[in-house]
Structure 1
């Protein structure tokens, strides 16, 4: 018997699995039991940190059995080209894995970072964009590894960029694991006998046009080869087309987004 879970983006930011999701699940459960204890952001953050310590996330090498590490829990495959699955090597030390649909995680942190020129050349890695159709797959060993995201240019272990990713769970030493999508965690049962398999597949369903700030990491906005981004020094382009391109670049929205002429912007609050 086979269980199949599919996430198709989309309108989600990230998917995570492992110890990070385990701490999030503990926090979520505690908040449901005692909502009166979670009154402000400072209390929430301190409680989350305490749960991280009690769950062993900061001393994972001592309190977290290696049999629950990602490499032992699941067979991971990625698809870089249509129709061809490749096995993804996940280091044995990785206890939490994050699949990013957007370059943002846990309050705006960027676990992927910006690969340098050597990494781009040797491993064919690119900076994260919101509209390139790629999922960034990042691994973490423990909470201390996660804290490097607070440092300039800090990032997790870059595992891969792919259009699709699949986790295959068979009978093992663990009967469950923890998963999370955009802060919503759950406890995922795993197969208890050799006849059962659980597959979790993540892929893109499509894209929609959205408003964005000037700092949005969008390939279609910042890539000079994109038809919606034009060179300001292109003297052959006429004034109307250039104005339209500038508007698209500024807002990151569909070119059909217009404020009606009869609306007085100065009267809008």
Structure 2
């Protein structure tokens, strides 16, 4: 089939070299780009697809506006770009001002790659932050699916890429809540065997040592989970890292994931995992639903995995929270699950069979609650490690068994701009077309105005960029 775009259409997305590299000769542009884009591609994602997409985008656009994340760190690229734009604007360059105002980012990779870029953009605190579209190159692609970009790996031919560019051009802007996470535990005493080994953390999480404390800090946009689901994910990622040749495409990856879940005992967890591993036996959980008011969250004793969920997609497009009826929302003082209402949904699972309920109509996990902040406090000596996952990136987290104050706190921290394509599963509290217009909706709409200035003052960096160094011990809540 022939190209669906003419050469003049592709110029709608073109960013000239002098914008990208300060000192380059200024170019006359007869066709100002309607939708200027910077493209970041994880060439290692999607088997061979990442590398193929990199070649295709560079052949269609200016090759210098397309970056391989294996070679170029996104924070450095964007800091340089916005520095150049600022310098050119100061000289009266109208094209630079136009590009800064209309710039969009295309991010090709899995959930971890998408969150990495979201963290970088959030950290930069730009007056006109770029809107972000995602190309699904991972195994789950939950963030992509939530905003209408699909969950299957895309085609890499010219027509497929041009179609995607046209969708980016017509996509609507949609804000999404950003969630800050902070974990703290005491450093082991000198001579203690209770040591914390170096970790391979997700891109959006950084480790620090300060005044006798181990601190882990970062952010997420889709979900944070603790327990068996993260353990299975960690085993999958470890196996893929050791034998990458066995993970060449999405279908193969999904089959391997299911096989590993069986080996890990996720389907027969009561037989393979002691009750001491259940969430209620590991930690006490508190939530804040209203400003300044903490309350205990009751966790059923059978729950082996807990998920703090912001988007309606988990494990390849499943929705753990589901769509509660109007009566259930009213009876439990809940609100519909919006992605920009400053609330996070908390869901529990007993095992993989419980998770398969999501495949049924109206299926959902155990709805535990909604909150503006979530506080986990691990019981002293309960466990020496656990498994955690943020936006598709799992890790094995050692815990200090000598510390009775190992805590994790999740809090709302602003919003970032996404691009949404149709059909879009994510729902906005401000969208008049939403079918959920009941309950406490007005409370959360008004809350945006009431707390906007406050959130601006306490907003925290997420640690996705290499420049992130700041740590403030006051972020954690102390219970006496």
Q: Do the aligned partners of 1:68 and 1:95 also contact (CA within 8 Å) in 2?
A: yes
TM-score by length of 1: 0.78
Deviation at 1:36, TM superposition (A): 0.9
Q: Given the alignment, which residue of 316, 330, 339 partners 1:107?
A: 316
> What is the match of residue 212 of structure 1?
420
Deviation at 1:104, TM superposition (A): 1.7
Q: Do the aligned partners of 1:7 and 1:201 also contact (CA within 8 Å) in 2?
A: no
| Aligned: 1:198 with 2:391 | no
| Aligned: 1:73 with 2:303 | no
Deviation at 1:192, TM superposition (A): 1.4
Deviation at 1:43, TM superposition (A): 1.7
Cα deviation digits, residues 114-141 of structure 1 (max 9, x gap): 1112211110122211111100000000
* Aligned pairs (5 A) from 1:34-113: 34-113=243-322
Q: Do the aligned partners of 2:385 and 2:398 also contact (CA within 8 Å) in 1?
A: yes
> What is the match of residue 158 of structure 1?
367
Deviation at 1:179, TM superposition (A): 0.2
Q: Do the aligned partners of 1:111 and 1:156 also contact (CA within 8 Å) in 2?
A: yes
Q: Given the alignment, which residue of 225, 229, 246 partners 1:20?
A: 229
Q: Pairwise CA RMSD of aligned residues?
A: 2.0
> What is the match of residue 256 of structure 1?
none
Partners of 1:196 and 1:173 in 2: how far apart? 10
Partners of 1:209 and 1:179 in 2: how far apart? 26
> Looking at CA atoms only, which structure, 1 or 2, has the larger radius of gyration?
2
Deviation at 1:3, TM superposition (A): 4.5
Partners of 1:208 and 1:182 in 2: how far apart? 15
Q: Do the aligned partners of 2:313 and 2:319 also contact (CA within 8 Å) in 1?
A: yes
Q: Do the aligned partners of 2:227 and 2:279 also contact (CA within 8 Å) in 1?
A: yes
Cα deviation digits, residues 91-114 of structure 1 (max 9, x gap): 000000110122221222211011
What is the number of residues matched between the two proteins?
224
Q: Do the aligned partners of 2:382 and 2:401 also contact (CA within 8 Å) in 1?
A: no
Deviation at 1:210, TM superposition (A): 3.0
> What is the match of residue 183 of structure 1?
392
Deviation at 1:27, TM superposition (A): 0.4
Partners of 1:192 and 1:166 in 2: how far apart? 19
| Aligned: 1:122 with 2:331 | yes
Q: For structure 2, which runs of at least 5 residues remain unmatched after alignment?
A: 1-185, 187-212, 443-480
Cα deviation digits, residues 46-86 of structure 1 (max 9, x gap): 11111111111000111111101000011111111122211
Q: Do the aligned partners of 1:4 and 1:198 also contact (CA within 8 Å) in 2?
A: no
Q: Do the aligned partners of 2:321 and 2:345 also contact (CA within 8 Å) in 1?
A: yes
* Aligned pairs (5 A) from 1:214-229: 215=424, 216-222=426-432
Q: Judging changes above 3 Å, is the alpha-carbon distance between structure 1 residues 163 and 6 closer, same or farther for their aligned structure 2 residues?
A: farther
> What is the match of residue 148 of structure 1?
357
> What is the match of residue 242 of structure 1?
none
| Aligned: 1:29 with 2:233 | no
Instruction: Report the 3-state secondary structure (helix = DSSP H, G, I; strand = E; otherwise coil) of the residue aligned with 1:125.
Output: coil
Partners of 2:373 and 2:262 in 1: how far apart? 33
Partners of 1:47 and 1:101 in 2: how far apart? 27
Q: For structure 1, which runs of at least 5 residues remain unmatched after alignment?
A: 227-269
Deviation at 1:151, TM superposition (A): 1.4
> What is the match of residue 346 of structure 2?
137
Partners of 2:343 and 2:224 in 1: how far apart? 14
More helix by share: 2
Instruction: Report the 3-state secondary structure (helix = DSSP H, G, I; strand = E; otherwise coil) of the residue aligned with 1:23.
Output: helix
